[in-house]
Chains A and B, each alone.
Chain A
Amino acid sequence: MDKIRRALLGQIAKLTAGAALVPLSSLASAGINDQPPRREGDPSKRYAMLIDLRACIGCQACTVSCHIENEAPLGSFRTIVSQYEVEHEETGDIATFMLPRLCNHCDNPPCVPVCPVEATFQRQDGIVVVDNDVCVGCAYCVQACPYDARFINEHTQTADKCTFCAHRLDVGLLPACVESCVGGARIIGDLNDPDSQISRMMKEHYEDLMVLKPEMGTSPHVFYLGMEERFMSRPQAKPAIWDVRTQEGEEIGYEFDGH
């Protein structure tokens, strides 16, 4: 990616992070693929997450605790920490970059309007959830998500995704990933409450916050602090993991044989 484009994307990222703070509820028109009205949840709140990448050590405790809390099938993840090895071309110095990924609970979630049965919806507190009793498993939402945050759960045969652990938030607990984060990198809270930790941190670091794939116009509500612009969209990186093959070309190094 050339420099100008990267700089432009960086600007968009910062702008989008700012725009997310302006309520988008004024966008109301009834056309095909428009957002349906939000329902359920506390209308006075707007949950969001701030991830302080400076404090992430890539231990995957969030990945594991989420997996246990939400009983995702082996090989499918509601959250994961992508890890990159970055090598300085001149000095040869190596650094590791950690990027925790999860549902961005966007203000303009592209997964919601595509659902043919309104099984997936956005709560009034901003959390995007799936009603598994209604979901038909068509996977249209999986296609629509630009962040690969959704998958078809092979046990339930319905769409599955991060819910910010809504079942825990609703009873006053923290999400599993936040609770287990060793470095305290994940901060969840209510953006409508000016005294919440996330609101204070967003005010303090406003200039440095970034979101993933701002060019998609989704207005993500997971904000990254200490983010590198080159990882915002599909990273320009060498996919080392796919090179793990035997001489016959058979892939090794993967335990899960799922689809």
Chain B
Amino acid sequence: MNSMAIEVLTPRYGIAWYPWAVQYFFMIAVSYSALLLTVPGLIFGNKNYQPLARVALLVTVTCTLVGPVALLADLHQPLRFWHFYANLNTQSWMSIGSLLLPLYLVMVLAYAWLAWRPAMQEQAQEPGWIGKLSGWISMGSWQAPRWMLVLAGLGALAFAFGIMLYTGAEVAILKSRPLWHTNWLPVMFVLTGLVAASGLVVLINRLMTGNDEEINRQGLKVIFVSMALAAVVAALWVSEGITGFSPSVEAAFESLQGNAEWRMVAIYGLAVGIVLTLATIAMLRRPGWMTRAWIAGLLAVHIGWTFRWMVLMEVQTVAKNTAGYYQYAVEAGSSGLLGIVGTFGLWLAALLIIDILVPWKKGLQAGSH
């Protein structure tokens, strides 16, 4: 057709999911990924991984507490959340998520409570309000058998797999946005979640537990393996588009061709990914560099968060029906910048409150006694 079309009139379609969604997807992915990092030390009782498990458990609990808050905020009127339970539609992935999420939260809290309890009971002997509070929280001086911790951990793990599945499927089933509609997206969410969670563990290790070398090494290894797997997944996704017909890849190439901003982001993403992968290799090989692991940790958190920002927010700026792209500028208010900063602030508050109340650095129930 040798004619050119100009779109003269079309309405502006707003963004339907706000940055709250990014915050939820980030927090919950860090939560389930950090939970995975506690498994060798806490559930299997492997002593080599107990320092890692200690930090990872703190990350798990804080992110599990804050994630659902961000999710509620994205409902526009959070108090309507009870509608989820009064009007179940188990055909919807989101409805399935609304059932999984509270159960996951309860299991994670039970797991952490059992892990921290011996130290809390010890602290309950001390005078002052912290001792008294520790007594209340630990609910008596009876000894919880180890199988209880293992059972709670396995329960949390089972629900964690449910969360991985539903958060991925919820987005990936949407045919309306071809960029989301690929089975590789849920896998990528988990891998980048592992990168971010390990990064955060390494970072907290630098700030709160004296830059323990073993934690750094283990964290960097997980980052390296996850990054390598993410590269494989990305390659598979692209090759699916080259060899067969993948609307997801086609939409991505279309955006790359038609939009300079997208090209910049793609180049940036690729560059940061390569830098992080190379940095982890360098740090793992040169013992002296290990003390700087927190830099890789920071970069890993950045990648985990930015991946979600790109996937959830930037994809929403691709017009479904009209030509071109929407302009999206982050608002200053609670549905924008304040929401983002607020979520991180709440997470920091949770971290500090737990740090004050719980002697989480002491031996965990898993092995030290």
Contact = CB atoms under 8 A, between A and B. Distances in A.
A33 B2 contact: no
Given A115-B92, A238-B6, A139 B16 contact: yes
Interface stretch (A176-184, A219-227, A250-258): A250-258
A142 interface: yes
Contacts, number: 195
Interface string A134-150: 11111110111111100
A157 B9 CA distance: 26
Interface stretch (B50-58, B82-90, B289-297, B343-351): B82-90
A116 B92 contact: yes
Interface stretch (B119-127, B129-137, B172-180): B172-180
A130 to B, nearest CB: 13
Contacts of B325: 239, 242
Interface in B318-369: 319-325, 327, 331, 335
Contacts of A89: 2-4
A145 to B, nearest CB: 6
Nearest to B173: A33
B353 to A, nearest CB: 30
Interface string A79-105: 011111111111000001100010000
Nearest to A32: B91
A7 to B, nearest CB: 11
Contacts of A157: 76-77
B175 A86 contact: no
A115 to B, nearest CB: 6
Contact of A148 (B96, B321, B324): B321
Interface in A234-251: 234-242, 251
A90 to B, nearest CB: 6
Consensus secondary structure, chain B interface: loop
B8 interface: yes
Contacts of B2: 88-90
B13 interface: yes
A230 interface: yes
A87 B323 contact: no
A133 to B, nearest CB: 9
A143 B177 contact: yes
Contacts of A110: 174-176
B14 interface: yes
B324 A230 contact: no
B321 A138 contact: no
B288 interface: no
Contacts of B327: 242, 251
A47 interface: no
Contacts of A139: 16-17, 74, 76
Contact of B98 (A76, A87, A113, A116): A116
A157 B80 CA distance: 11
B113 interface: no
A149 to B, nearest CB: 9
A114 B92 contact: yes
A236 B335 CA distance: 32
A235 B323 contact: yes
Contact of B75 (A115, A118, A136, A147): A136
Contacts of B91: 30-34, 36, 113
Give the top 9 A-B pairs by smallest Cβ distance, nearest first.
Answer: A239-B324, A116-B95, A139-B16, A146-B176, A237-B5, A137-B76, A116-B94, A117-B87, A142-B16
Given A32-B96, A87-B5, A151-B14, 11 more contacts: A32-B169, A85-B5, A86-B6, A116-B94, A116-B97, A145-B176, A146-B175, A235-B5, A238-B6, A239-B7, A259-B331
22 contacts: A6-B1, A81-B9, A82-B10, A83-B8, A110-B176, A114-B93, A115-B89, A116-B84, A116-B98, A117-B87, A134-B87, A139-B17, A140-B92, A147-B321, A148-B320, A157-B77, A212-B321, A216-B176, A231-B5, A234-B322, A235-B7, A256-B12
